[in-house]
Amino acid sequence: MKFAVVVFPGSNCDIDMYHAVRDELGEEAAYVDYRETSLKEYDAVLLPGGFSFGDYLRSGAIAARLPIAEGIREAAAEGKPVLGVCNGFQVLLELGLLPGAMRRNRQLTFICKPVTLEVANSRTMFTGTYGSGEQVTIPVAHGEGNYFCDEETLEELRENDQIAFTYTDDVNGSVERIAGITNRAGNVLGMMPHPERAVDELLGSADGLKMFQSILTHWRETHAVKN
């Protein structure tokens, strides 16, 4: 399986993503510059966190208007796994691939610490190796991670099982303590916590590695040759 790690100017987690896939998952990964327009040669697309364009203006707004945006849209439309973390989540919102918007943390300060998440939906291609309701430890690092959507959108997220992760505590003021959501088709996931920073016990937790293993397991199952 070949993963694309999209590199935006200012990103600081692309190397962590690459490490998670190559060194911990044991699969192929390649950096893809934001000026590229196609992601057709890849099986999955990863949008890393960091400070793309310095987090100025509205986070993710500039990144979502780069040439690579069309490639991301095409990959999502083709049903490929598209994972956006932190800034990557904000880019997916700006692209319109996920509903809602991101606001500054309720406490108006940058938060950087391990947090506990609950797996709200273990039936997605990103969460298949987690147990339903399982609690995992994955770090956050953001100043603008307060997820918001209106009541109608929230009801749709509930009805369609699009809420993948929730915080066990009110970390940043997010609606319903939402930490991660999928699109209705289930192949696009945005989340504020950083699974790529939790792929080895040396990092304090290996709970994030299960997400990459889930993607790989799903891909192998759907691409298995039937005799």
Which residues are part of the catalytic machinery? 86, 194, 196
Q: How many CA atoms lie within 13 Å of 96's alpha carbon, on the beta-carbon side?
A: 6
The number of folded domains in the chain is 1
Token code pair at residue 200: 């080895």
pLDDT tens, residue order, the chain (227 aa) = 999 999 988 888 999 999 999 999 999 999 999 999 999 999 999 999 877 777 667 778 888 888 999 999 999 999 999 999 999 999 999 999 999 999 999 999 999 999 999 999 999 999 999 999 999 999 999 999 999 999 999 999 999 999 999 999 999 999 999 999 999 999 999 999 999 999 999 999 999 999 999 999 999 999 876 54
pTM, 2 dp: 0.95
Using the Cα atoms of residue 126, residue 131, residue 137 and residue 140 in order, give the sign of their dihedral: positive
Q: Is 178 helix (H, G, I), strand (E, B) or coil?
A: strand
Query: Bridge-partner residues for 3, per DSSP?
Result: 29, 44
Task: Dump pLDDT digits (tens) for 169-195.
Answer: 999 999 999 999 999 999 999 999 999
Task: For residue 200, list its beta bridge partners.
Answer: 205
| The residue to which tokens 């943390």 are assigned | 105
DSSP run (H or E) holding 71: helix 68-77
Tokens found for residue 31: 């950096």
Q: For strand 101-103 and strand 146-148, is the pairing parallel, antiparallel, or unpaired?
A: antiparallel
What residues make up the domain containing 175?
2-225
Sheet holding 2-7, edge to edge: 28-33, 2-7, 44-47, 82-85, 188-191, 178-182, 163-167, 111-119, 135-142
- CATH number for the domain harbouring residue 189: 3.40.50.880
Separation CA 221–CA 211 (nearest Å): 15
